[in-house]
Amino acid sequence: MEDKEKEVLDSIERLSQSLDIKINKKKSGATFKTKEVVVLLFMTALIGLVMGSIVTYNVTLKGKKVDDELQEFITNYDYIVDNYYDDIDKTKLVDSAIAGMLSTLDKNSAYVGGSDTNFSIYLEGTYEGTGIQVFNDEDNNIVIYSVFEDTPASKAGLKAGDIIVKLNDKDTTNMVISDFSSLIKKEKGSFKITYKRDDEVKTVSLKTEKVELKSVSSRIIEKDGKKFGYIRVTIFASNTDEQFKKELDDLESKGIDGLVIDFRGNSGGHLATAEEIISLFLDSSHPIYQIKSKDNQSKYYSTGKETKDYKISILIDGDSASATEVVTSALMEQYGAKTVGEKSYGKGTVQELQTLPDGEQYKLTTKSWLTSKGKVIDGKGIEPDYNVKLSENYIENPSDENDNQLQKALDILK
């Protein structure tokens, strides 16, 4: 009986560490930053375990006794674990319970899976791998969707559309993506990939290494005797601000007459990254956004040392969201930047990311944000100064000349 009781108490202790429950202990006093859209969050919930009949523990939740709803959950968890006819993976059971709870909340609170998912990889901006993205086609082949530049995969000559047929000696036919990823991990960083391109089959050797995802690109566009900088940002990853500063410094060194920032299709990301990018253009006297929680509302300011003096145009569309809208609204209200395109998505809430002990993750909406002047954009979006729908010519034949939104942004700079 003592061994069984110890097992139960150890299980509760493990779960309490992941779910922020106080069990006859004082809180550790740990603090967490809340500046990022995605940060750590501890969820208040408890899974109770039983031995024979229900055992009563001295459990408190935020200083209060467990309420009836949570007790009902504990009771049913106990019943399922004790009476299900087969073995139960308790970790998966808890993960599924959390996913179920999140599904009853707003659309932005969600279970996102493991920390090696595309969601987490793109937000982190780096990962250990080969530099390929893959998908299952309708015949269940493993097909390369894209190859990142300057990675082991690109150096080995792999291209989008290649069908992977073997990993070492393991046939990957009819293999799902999750099994393929697990197989790569088991190879511990060095393996051979056999792929098919058209009717030719080749084998290459690959080693995993740290891959940095490029989320910022830039170039000079000359028009009517003037030189304009163009920066495209695809996501606000943790390293996007560093890439942005490098590209901006390079453009400014070439003597630009104005700047176009392209946020079309950018769904957002880290709020801290958005702050850093805004601060490249505004000095610290400028407010850049406001955060509203259950208890208070706070105004946040730029950390920049100077305010730029050239004109800025920003391209947005219906997929421009979240941190993208933070930067756009701040530069509109505090810098005087003009926007071109179509109304943005309208995501005015902040999510925080929690990583569970098994590596699974979920995001929870904890706050809302307002523009620097206190405007609500959630569900409304940002109306551009110049509402311009992307032309069919560009969709059929993408080029700067056919990009009527870009051309309008350049005309504004002139």
Nearest to 152 by CA among 185, 130, 121, 127: 130
| Integer CA distances (angstroms), 322 to 38, 140, 346, in order | 12, 34, 7
Q: Residue 18 catalytic?
A: no
Q: Residue 334 catalytic?
A: no
**In whole angstroms, what is the distance from residue 22 CA to residue 32 CA?**
18
**Under 8 Å between Cβ of 231 and 253:** no
Active-site residue, selected from the candidate residues 347, 363, 367, 408? 347
**Under 8 Å between Cβ of 43 and 21:** no
Those residues whose C-beta lies under 8 Å from the C-beta of residue 406, and which sit 6 or more positions away, are 230, 260, 262, 315, 400
Those residues whose C-beta lies under 8 Å from the C-beta of residue 66, and which sit 6 or more positions away, are 46, 59, 60, 74
**In whole angstroms, what is the distance from residue 119 CA to residue 237 CA?**
10
Helix (H) or strand (E) holding 132, with range, is strand 132-136
| Beta bridge partners of residue 228, listed in sequence order | 221, 258
**In whole angstroms, what is the distance from residue 214 CA to residue 196 CA?**
27
Q: Residue 322 catalytic?
A: yes
Active-site residue, selected from the candidate residues 322, 354, 372, 405? 322
**In whole angstroms, what is the distance from residue 201 CA to residue 204 CA?**
10
Helix (H) or strand (E) holding 305, with range, is none
Helices 323-330, 271-278: crossing angle, 10 deg rounding: 20
What does residue 392 show for φ and ψ, rounded to 5 degrees? -65, -30
Active-site residue, selected from the candidate residues 218, 351, 354, 405? 351
Would you name the residues annotated as active-site residues? 322, 347, 351
